[in-house]
A and B are shown apart, each in its own frame.
Chain A
Amino acid sequence: MKFFIAPIEFSNVSVLNSITKDISVIFKDNVSLISLPLNTAAAYSRDRGQYFSTQLIADAMKLTPAYDGKVLMLVEFDLFVPVFTYVFGEAQLNGKHSIVSLCRLHEEFYSGKTNDKLLHERSLKEILHELGHNMGLIHCRNWNCVMHSSQGVEEIDIKGNFYCPECSGILSNNGYKDTFVKLTPDNDSLSKIIDSDHIT
C-alpha cells in the first residue's frame, strides 16, 4: 500500500519534512510527496473565509487516478463542511482520499504562542486519524487510540498517537496487516514517534 502526501499551498517546509519523515517510518517507507495542481478557489467560501473540504476532495479525485494508494492532502488554511463551523480534516471512509488542515492545530490559534512540537504531534495524530478512516476505521472509544473522535484541539492532545490493539486488529482484517510497522520495544525510531504506552 502506497501513501501519497499532497501539500496544497503549503509554506511551512520544516513541518512538512518532519511530518513526512515520521509518517514514512510508520508506513514502512511507502510514503511519497506529490504535487497536485488543485484549484482551491472553487472551494473557497467568501462568507466564511474557509475552504469546503468535501469540494476539495471531489476536485482531487479528478487529478489522482494514476496514484495507486491513499492520497492525503495537507493544507494550512481552515476547512469547513456547510453544516459545521469547522473541521480539522475529512476522509472518505474506506476510500482513497483525505484532507487535513493544520490551521487549527497551531497553538497560536488558541493561545497566541508558537509550539512546533505540539503542532507536529497534533498533525501526526490527525493524519493517522484520517488515513485510519481511509483504511475503514470508524471512531474508537479508547482514549489511547488515535481513532478517538476529537471535536476540539484539547481532545486531540488527550488522545493517543497510534491505533489501539483493537483498531490495529481491524486494520489487519481489512487487509492492511503489513502496511504499518509492528510496535515493538526495540524499534527505536518508532518509539521516538509513538507514545511508549502503545509499544508492546
Chain B
Amino acid sequence: MKSKQSILIVDDEKIVRESLYHWFIEEGYNVDTAEDAEAALKIIEKGKYELMLVDMKMPGMSGLELLDKVKEIDKDTIFILITAFASVPTAIKALKNGAYDYITKPIDPDELAHIVEKAIHQKELRQENEQLKDNINEIIKPDNLIGESRQMLKIFDLINTVAQTDTTVMIRGESGTGKELVAKAIHINSKRKYFPIVTVNCGALAESLLESELFGHEKGAFTGAHYKRKGKFEMADGGTIFLDEIGTVSPKMQIELLRVIESKQFMRVGGNENIKSDFRVIAATNEPLENLLKEGKFREDLYYRLNVFTIFIPPLRERRDDIPILAYYFMNKFNAAMNRNIKNISNEAMDFLVNYSWPGNVRELENAIERALVVGRGDSIKIEDLPFHVTPNNRLDDEGDKSLESVEKRHIMNVLELNNWNISKSAEALQIDRVTLYNKINKYGFRKS
C-alpha cells in the first residue's frame, strides 16, 4: 500500500475540492481541503503537507500569492497550480517563483497521477540524498580525533570556527598528534565538503617529483611522462589541498607554491596552458618553522601566507586526561576489526599508559593497543601485552633527562637498534615516514655502531 503522504487541496469550487479529495483518498493519500488561501494558511500552521494542489484564481488571495507565503513557511512543500488555459502565462510565472508544475482544467487524471507521483518521488529522492550526505559526513568524520581534555575542546572549537571560512590554516604539532585528522575535520565541516581533500606529503617526494605531483605534467614533459597527468592542485578544484610537512619543501618549490597559492593559477610541467583551480590550503608541519626562517631555509613571504590561522595540537603527554578515553576507543575499534572481545584495560596497564611519555603521540598509543589485542589473551589488556618499546625505561618517573627532545632521541635510538638500523622497519614501528626518520637521525647525529 502507498505510504501516507499528506496533500492539501485549495480551490474555491466545492465540486473540484470534493472530486480531488475522493480521487486522492482512493490513491491512498492523507487529504485535507481549503476553500481559499487564507483557510489554507491556517491549516498549514497546524500540519505539514508534502504537496499542495492550488487553484490559480480564487477570491481574495490568489494561488500565486499563496505560493509566496507557503515558500516562506516551508520551502520544501511541492506546489502544483490548477489553472485554466487563459492563465497559463501566469502559471509559468509561478514556476519561476518556485511552483513545481501547473495543470490545466479539466485535468487529465493520467497527467495528474504522473505529476503528483513524480513530484513526491523527486522529493523523497532529494530527502534521501540529504540523508545520505549526512551519513557520509558521519562516516568520514575523522574518528581518531577524539578527546575531552580542555586542549582538545579548544581545538574542536577552532576547527568549527575556521571551517566556516576559506582562510589558509597552518596546523602544527608533533608527529602522530593527528594533524591530518584536523585538516580533514576542517574540510568536512566546510562548504567545500562535497569536493575532495587532496593530501600531499611534501617530505616524501624529491623536488622534481613534487613539482609534477603538485602541478601535473603534459605527455612527454620528461622521460617517463607517457601520459598527461593532473596535479594535486588541479584535483583539489573546489575542495582542499593539505600540504603536510611543509617545512621540508625546497626554496625553489617555496617560490612556486607561494605564486600558486596567491594566484590560484599554474601550468602543468611541460605545458603552456594556464590552469585555474579553486582550492583551500591547509598546511602542516612538525618542525619549528621560525627556526627555519632564521636559518633562511623557509621563505618569510610563504610563512606569512600560510600562517594566517594556526592550530597547535598538543602532544599526548600534555593531555593525559584523554589517554583513557583514547585507549578504550582504540580497544573497541580493534575489538571490532579483529573480532575480539577484550572488555577492559587492567588498572596497572592503564596506569602505565597514562604515565608513559608517548613520543609517537596518539599514533603510538593506537599502535600499542592494536598490538596488545594481537598478543593479549583473556578478556583484559594487561601490562605485559603492551609493546616492546613501552618499557619502564620510558616512564617519565625514571631517572634522567625528561625533556621531550631527550625522550624522543632515546626512543628513536631504541627502535633503530631493535630493527638493526633497518630504516623502513624502524620508520614503520615509529609510524613516521622514512624522510622524517632520516631527518631525525641527522638532527640527533646518530651513527650506526
Interface residues of A (CB under 8 A from B): 54, 80-87, 90-91, 93, 133, 138-141, 149, 151-152, 166
Establish whether residues A82 and B22, one from each chain, have CB atoms under 8 Å apart when the complex forms: no
CB pair B106–A80 under 8 Å, yes or no, is yes
Q: Is the CB of A83 within 8 A of B20?
A: yes
CB–CB B26/A149 < 8 A: yes
Choose one: A83, A133, A152; the contact of B15 (CB below 8 Å).
A83
Given A93-B26, A138-B28, A166-B1, CB of A85 within 8 Å of CB of B19: no
CB distance from A130 to the nearest CB of B (A): 10
Within 8 A of A (CB), among B57-88: 82
Contact of A86 among B1, B23, B109, B112 (CB under 8 A): B109
Expressed in whole angstroms, the minimum distance between the Cβ of B87 and any Cβ of chain A is 16
Chain A residue with the shortest CB-CB distance to B22: A93
Q: Verify B107–A84 contact, CB threshold 8 A.
A: yes
* A139/B2 contact (C-beta < 8 A), A85-B107, A93-B22, A93-B26 known: yes
Q: List 10 A-B contacts (CB under 8 A).
A: A82-B13, A82-B15, A83-B15, A83-B16, A84-B19, A84-B109, A86-B109, A138-B2, A138-B25, A139-B2
Partner pick for A133 among B19, B26, B109, CB 8 A cutoff: B26
Assess whether B110 is interfacial by the CB under 8 Å rule: yes
B46 contacts the other chain (Cβ, under 8 Å)? no
**Complex CA–CA separation, A165 to B2 (angstroms):** 15
Which residues on the A side are within 8 Å of B1 (C-beta)?
Answer: 138, 140-141, 166
Contact partners of A152 in chain B: CB under 8 A: 110
A-B contact count (CB 8 A): 63
The answer on a CB contact under 8 Å between A84 and B108 is yes
Expressed in whole angstroms, the minimum distance between the Cβ of B11 and any Cβ of chain A is 8
> Which chain A residue shows the least CB distance to B27?
A139
Q: Which residues of B in the span 292-319 have a Cβ within 8 Å of any Cβ on A?
A: none
| Residues A84 and B26 in contact, CB atoms below 8 Å apart | no
A141 to B2, Cβ gap below 8 A? yes
B55 to chain A: closest residue by CB: A83
CB <8 Å contact, A83 and B107:
yes
* A83-B19, A84-B112 known, 14 other contacts, Cβ within 8 Å: A82-B15, A83-B82, A83-B107, A84-B19, A85-B106, A87-B109, A90-B22, A93-B25, A93-B26, A139-B26, A139-B27, A140-B1, A149-B27, A166-B1
Cα distance A90–B22 in the bound complex, in angstroms: 9
Residues of chain B from 1 to 29 with CB closer than 8 A to chain A in the complex: 1-2, 13, 15-16, 18-20, 22-23, 25-28
B113 at the interface (CB under 8 A from A): yes
CA distance A81 to B106 in the complex (A): 9
**Shortest distance from the beta carbon of B65 to any chain A beta carbon, whole Å:** 22
Chain B residue at smallest Cβ distance from A140: B1
**Pairwise interchain contact A139-B110, C-beta atoms closer than 8 A:** no
Least distance between B329 CB and chain A CB atoms (Å): 45
**Complex interface: chain B residues within 8 A of A86 (CB):** 109
Nearest opposing residue in chain B for A90, CB measure: B22
Inter-chain contact B27/A83, CB cutoff 8 Å: no
Residues of B in contact with A (beta carbons under 8 Å apart): 1-2, 13, 15-16, 18-20, 22-23, 25-28, 82, 105-110, 112-114
Which residues of chain A are near B108, meaning CB under 8 Å? 84-85, 151
How near does chain B come to A5, taking the closest CB pair, in angstroms?
21
Among residues of B, the one whose C-beta sits closest to the C-beta of A87 is B109
Interface pair A83/B106, CB less than 8 Å apart: yes
B27–A82 CB distance below 8 A: no
Of A85, A87, A133, chain B has the most CB atoms within 10 Å of the CB of A85
Q: Is the CB of A151 within 8 A of B107?
A: no
Q: Which residues of A are found within 8 Å of B25, using beta-carbon distances?
A: 93, 138
Contact present for A84 and B22 (CB under 8 Å) = no
Could you say which residues of chain B place their CB within 8 Å of the CB of A151? 108-110, 112-114
Q: How far is the CA of A138 from the CA of B25 in the complex (A)?
A: 7
With a CB–CB cut-off of 8 A, which chain A residues contact B19?
Answer: 54, 81-84
A104 to chain B, nearest CB (A): 11
Rank and list the top 4 A-B pairs by shortest CB-CB distance, nearest first. A151-B110, A81-B19, A138-B28, A151-B113
Kindly provide the distance from the CB of A151 to the nearest chain B CB, expressed in whole angstroms.
Answer: 4
B390 to chain A minimum Cβ distance, whole angstroms, is 61
CA distance A85 to B23 in the complex (A): 13
CB of A138 within 8 A of CB of B16, answer no
Q: A87 to B106, alpha carbons, bound, how many Å?
A: 12
Residues of A within 8 A of B113 (CB): 149, 151
C-alpha gap A152/B16 in the complex (Å): 21
CB <8 Å contact, A84 and B23: yes
Give CA–CA (A139, B18) in the complex, Å: 18
Q: Which residues of A contact B2 (CB under 8 A)?
A: 138-139, 141
The answer on a CB contact under 8 Å between B28 and A82 is no
Q: Say whether, besides A141-B2, A151-B110, A82 and B26 are in contact (CB < 8 Å).
A: no
Residues in B with CB closer than 8 Å to A54 are 15, 18-19
Q: State the Cβ distance, A9 to closest chain B Cβ, in Å.
A: 23
Cβ-defined contact, A82 with B109, below 8 A: no
List A contacts of B110 (CB < 8 A). 151-152
Query: Which residues of B have CB within 8 Å of A91?
Result: 26
A85→B188 CA distance, assembly (Å) = 52
Q: How far is the CA of A139 from the CA of B25 in the complex (A)?
A: 9
Looking across the interface, which residue of chain A has its beta carbon closest to that of B17? Answer: A83
Contact of A85 among B15, B82, B109 (CB under 8 A): B109
**Chain A positions within 8 Å of B13 at CB level:** 82
